Amino acid sequence: MKRLSIILIFISTHLFPVLAQQGTGELSVFLDTVTVKAKADANTVKTASDGSVDWNLRMMDLLPKMMGNADPIGYSKLLPGVQSTGEFNGGLHINGSENSHNMISVLDVPIYNVNHLLGFFSAFIPTHYSSMSLYRTPQTAGSPNRLGGELMFRPFTERESDHASGDVSVGLISSQGTVKVPMGKKSLLTASLRATYINLLYSGWMEVDGSTLDYSFFDSNLTWTCNLDDRNVIMADAYWGRDNGGLMENSFVTDSRSIWGNDAESFHWIHDGKNGFEMKHTLYHSNSFTDVRMAHEGGKLKAPSSITDLGYKGNLEWKGLTLGLDALYHDFVLQSPVIEDSYITTATGTPHRDSWEYSAYSDYSVFLMDRLNLRVGLRGGLFVSKDERYRSLDPSFTATYYSTNNDWSISLGLSQRHQYLFQTGITGLGMPSEFWMPAHDRFKPQYMRGVNLSGMVELAPGFTLNASAYYKRLYNQIEYYGSIIDFITTDYNYEDHLIQGDGYNYGFDVMVSKSSGRLTGWLSYSMGRALRHFDKEGMTGYYHASHERIHELDMVAVYKTGKRWEPSLVLVAASGTPFTAPEYFYMLDRKILVRYGDFNAQRTRPYIRLDLSVNYDLNLKNDRYIKSHGLNLSIYNVLCRHNDLGYRLKVYEDSFYYHNIMFLGFALPSISYYCTF
C-alpha cells in the first residue's frame, strides 16, 4: 500500500487541484481609437482594426489587486476573445486556442511557464514593462510558429528624466520594486525585484484539505539599453524567477517539495537606417523547468521536466518589404515519473529529445487607393528532430480598409500556420505539472487554417466599438486521455495516454471602450466554441475542448474623482468549462479502476466574480523626491461566490469519492502601499 499511498497523496495535495479535464514590421498603420488627451491617454487600452490590443501597463496601478498584486496576465483574460477560465488556471486561451497555441514573450523571446501560485499570479512585474500587446491570430509571416496569438511585453527603454526614478509596492503576500537609473547620457538601466512572504499572513488560507502548503516565489528583471547614436540601439534583457512549494500531508506523514521556474536572457541590436530601412537582430536563451519530488515512509516519487531554447531572430524592413530568419535549438526533458518504495520501483529513465527549428519569411505591404492596405506574406519552416524532418509553407493575407476620416476601419485576414511543439499533462491548464514535447513520428506537427474579420468604429470622442469574428480549422491536436491514476495502474509512458485528432474554433466578440474622461474602461462580450474530434476507438463525433467557455462577459471600470480617491471594479460572468466525469471507480488488488463517462460531457457551474478596489492618494505636495504615494484597498470576490475549480478524486480514511472543488466562498480583502519616486 505504500506505493499506492504515495500516488494518492500526489493526487490530493501536490497537484491541487487535479481537475478532471482529462480524457481529457511591419509597415504599421496603427490607428489610435481614442482622442488623445495627455494624462487620460496614459492609462488606456488601445485597439486596432485587425483586433490587436496595446495596453499601457500603468493602468495596472488603478485596478483591483489580488492580495496586493495586479497581474498583467490575469487582466489580459478580460480582453475580448481571451477566455478567463478561473482561479488556479494558468492557461491563456485566445480565440478558442489551447494554452500551448499562444506565445508569451518579452520582445519576441518566448517565456514558457509564467505562473505563480498555481496560476494566480504571473512572472511579470508590471512596473518593469511599459506596455503589453495582444495579437489574437498570426497576422504576418513574421508571427511565430504558433496556431494562436501572442502576448508580448516591452520593457522600458526610454529615459524619463536625467535622475533615478522608480516604483515600490508593499502588499500582504509580496513586495516589489523597480528602479530606472540613467547611466551617462546614452544608456538606461532598469532593474526590478519581487519576493513573497505569503505564509506569514495567509498560512491558514494555504491549507488544502488539512495539509499545510509552504510556498514562496521570486522574480527579478534587468534591462540595459544604450543608444549608440541616432540610428543604433543595443539592448540586453534578463529575467530569473523561481517557485518553491512544499506540502506536509498530516494524515499520511508525507513531505513533498517542488521547484519550478524560468530564466531568459537576450541581446538585441536595432538599426534605424535611412530611407525607411530598419534592421533588428536578437540572440537569446530561454529555459523553463519543473522538479517534483516527494517522500513518504521510505517511498519516493520524482517527475522532472524542462525545455531549453537557444535562438536567433533577424529582421529587415524597407519600404513595405519585410525579410526575416529564425533559427532555434530546443532541448527537452520529457516528464516520466519514477516511483520507488520498499516493494517496487518503476523507472523508465528521464527521456531527452532535442530538435532544430528554422524559419524564413517575407511580407510585403502596399496601399491601394490611399485607403486600402494589402499585406501578403509567406513563411517557410523546417523542423528537425532526430532523423525526422518536417517542412511547411504557410501563406498569410490581410486586407484593411480605412475610412476617409479614419473614424472606422475593417480588416480581413487569412492565414495558415504550423506548430512543432506540443504541451501536455494531466491538468490541461498551463500548470507546472505539464511539459513540452516536440513533434515526432507518432505525433505529427499541428497546423491550422483560419479566417478573421474585425473592425472598429469611433462612436463618439473617447468611445470606440470593436468587433471581430473568427474561424479556425485545426489539425493534429493532442489531448491527455486518462488521469494521474494511470501512474499506478500501468507502467507509465506519456505517449500511451495521448490521443490525437482534428478540430475547429469559431466565435465572435464585441467591445465598447471609453478611453478618456473621468470614467474609463470597457465592456466586452465573447462567444466561442472549441470542438475536437479524436482518432480513438469508441470516440465518435466532436467533443468540447477542456478550456471551452461558450459565453463570457467582462467589465472593467476606473473612475477618476479628481481627489484622493480613485475607485475601480472588475466583473466577470462566464459559462462553465467541460470535464469528464467518472461513471464509477473502485479498488481491486491494490489498483484503482475507473470507468469514465463521455469525454468532456459535463460542465462546471457558471463562473461569476466581482472585484472592487480604491486607490487613496496620501497627497504629498512639493516633495523633492516622491512623486506620489498612497494605499490600495481591494476586495476580491465581493459577492462571496463559490466558483468551481473543477472535480477531483478525494481520498479520506481509505475511502474514495469524486466531488467538485470550490474556491474561497468569501470575500478576500487586501491592502498595499505604493510609492513612485
Contact 377, 393 (CB under 8 A): no
User: How does pLDDT run across 191-228, given as a tens digit for each residue?
Assistant: 999 988 776 666 555 555 555 667 788 899 999 999 99
- The confidence band for 432, taking pLDDT boundaries of 50, 70 and 90, is low
Q: Strand pairing partners for 506?
A: 471, 529
- Averaged pLDDT, 320-348: 78
Please check the confidence at residue 555 and state whether its pLDDT lies above 50.
yes
Question: Helix (H, G, I), strand (E, B), or coil: what is residue 664?
Answer: strand
119 versus 366: the higher-pLDDT residue is 366
As a whole-number percent, the residues of the chain with pLDDT over 90 amount to 33
- Averaged pLDDT, 310-331: 95
- The confidence band for 461, taking pLDDT boundaries of 50, 70 and 90, is confident
Please check the confidence at residue 12 and state whether its pLDDT lies above 60.
no
- Averaged pLDDT, 515-544: 87
H-only helix segments in 57-190: 72-76
User: Cα separation of 152 and 55, whole Å?
Assistant: 10
DSSP 10: I
The backbone torsions φ and ψ at residue 197, rounded to the nearest 5 degrees and listed phi first, read: -140, 45
- Cβ neighbours around 664 below 10 Å, total: 16
Please check the confidence at residue 55 and state whether its pLDDT lies above 80.
yes
Q: Taking the CA of residue 673 as centre, how many other CA atoms within 13 Å lie in the half-sphere pointing to its CB?
A: 3
pLDDT of 190: 94
Please check the confidence at residue 69 and state whether its pLDDT lies above 90.
no
| Continuous segment of H or E residues that includes residue 404 | none
Q: Residue 173, by phi and psi: left (phi above 0), alpha (psi -120 to 50) or beta?
A: alpha
| Residue the block writes with cell 475542448 | 545
- The confidence band for 116, taking pLDDT boundaries of 50, 70 and 90, is confident
Please check the confidence at residue 10 and state whether its pLDDT lies above 50.
no
- Averaged pLDDT, 563-570: 88
DSSP 200: H
User: Cα separation of 122 and 211, whole Å?
Assistant: 24
Enter the C-alpha cell of residue 81: 476573445
| Residue the block writes with cell 517534483 | 292
Please check the confidence at residue 370 and state whether its pLDDT lies above 80.
yes
pLDDT of 5: 40
Give CA torsion, residues 393, 394, 395, 400, to 10 deg: -160
Question: Helix (H, G, I), strand (E, B), or coil: what is residue 639?
Answer: coil
| Residue the block writes with cell 496595446 | 54
Q: Strand pairing partners for 649?
A: 658
- Averaged pLDDT, 134-160: 88
Buried b (16+ CB within 10 A) or exposed e, 241-252: bbbebbbebeeb
Instruction: Evaluate whether the domain defined by 2-676 bears CATH number 2.40.170.20.
Output: yes
- The confidence band for 438, taking pLDDT boundaries of 50, 70 and 90, is very high
Instruction: Report which of 410, 400, 520, 568 is spatially closest to residue 45, judged by C-alpha positions.
Output: 520
User: Cα separation of 27 and 322, whole Å?
Assistant: 8
The backbone torsions φ and ψ at residue 403, rounded to the nearest 5 degrees and listed phi first, read: -70, 170
Question: Helix (H, G, I), strand (E, B), or coil: what is residue 656?
Answer: strand
- Averaged pLDDT, 279-293: 91
The backbone torsions φ and ψ at residue 675, rounded to the nearest 5 degrees and listed phi first, read: -150, 130
User: Cα separation of 139 and 656, whole Å?
Assistant: 49
Handedness of CA 575, 102, 612, 42 (dihedral sign): negative
pLDDT of 101: 92
Among 113-117, 531-535, 619-623, the range of highest mean pLDDT: 531-535
Enter the C-alpha cell of residue 65: 489587486
User: Cα separation of 8 and 30, whole Å?
Assistant: 54
The radius of gyration of the chain from alpha carbons, rounded to an integer in Å, stands at: 25
Among 114-123, 150-159, 588-597, the range of highest mean pLDDT: 150-159
Residues 6+ apart with CB under 8 A from 329: 309, 310, 311, 354, 355, 356, 357
Please check the confidence at residue 21 and state whether its pLDDT lies above 60.
no
DSSP 127: G
pLDDT of 362: 96
The letter for the amino acid at 643 is N
User: Whole-number mean pLDDT of the chain?
Assistant: 80
User: How does pLDDT run across 79-108, given as a tens digit for each residue?
Assistant: 888 876 666 666 788 998 888 899 999 999
User: How does pLDDT run across 241-270, given as a tens digit for each residue?
Assistant: 988 877 655 544 456 677 888 999 999 999
Buried b (16+ CB within 10 A) or exposed e, 507-523: bbbebebbbbeeebbbb
The letter for the amino acid at 370 is D
Enter the C-alpha cell of residue 451: 479566417
User: Cα separation of 648 and 460, whole Å?
Assistant: 50
Handedness of CA 459, 463, 465, 466 (dihedral sign): positive
pLDDT of 603: 85
User: Cα separation of 170 and 318, whole Å?
Assistant: 47
- Averaged pLDDT, 452-476: 92
Note the pTM of the prediction, 2 decimals. 0.84
Chain center to CA of 572:
18
User: Cα separation of 158 and 188, whole Å?
Assistant: 7
Enter the C-alpha cell of residue 619: 497627497
Q: Is 671 exposed, middle or buried (0-12, 13-18, 19+ CB in 10 A)?
A: middle
The letter for the amino acid at 118 is L
| Residue the block writes with cell 492557461 | 91
Q: What is the largest CA-CA distance in the chain?
A: 78
Handedness of CA 657, 661, 666, 668 (dihedral sign): positive
Instruction: Report the residue count for the chain.
Output: 677
- The confidence band for 41, taking pLDDT boundaries of 50, 70 and 90, is very low
Instruction: Report which of 382, 384, 415, 378 is spatially closest to residue 142, judged by C-alpha positions.
Output: 378
Enter the C-alpha cell of residue 560: 477618476
pLDDT of 577: 85
The letter for the amino acid at 350 is T
User: Cα separation of 557 and 611, whole Å?
Assistant: 11
Question: Helix (H, G, I), strand (E, B), or coil: what is residue 132?
Answer: strand
User: How does pLDDT run across 223-244, given as a tens digit for each residue?
Assistant: 999 999 889 999 999 999 988 8
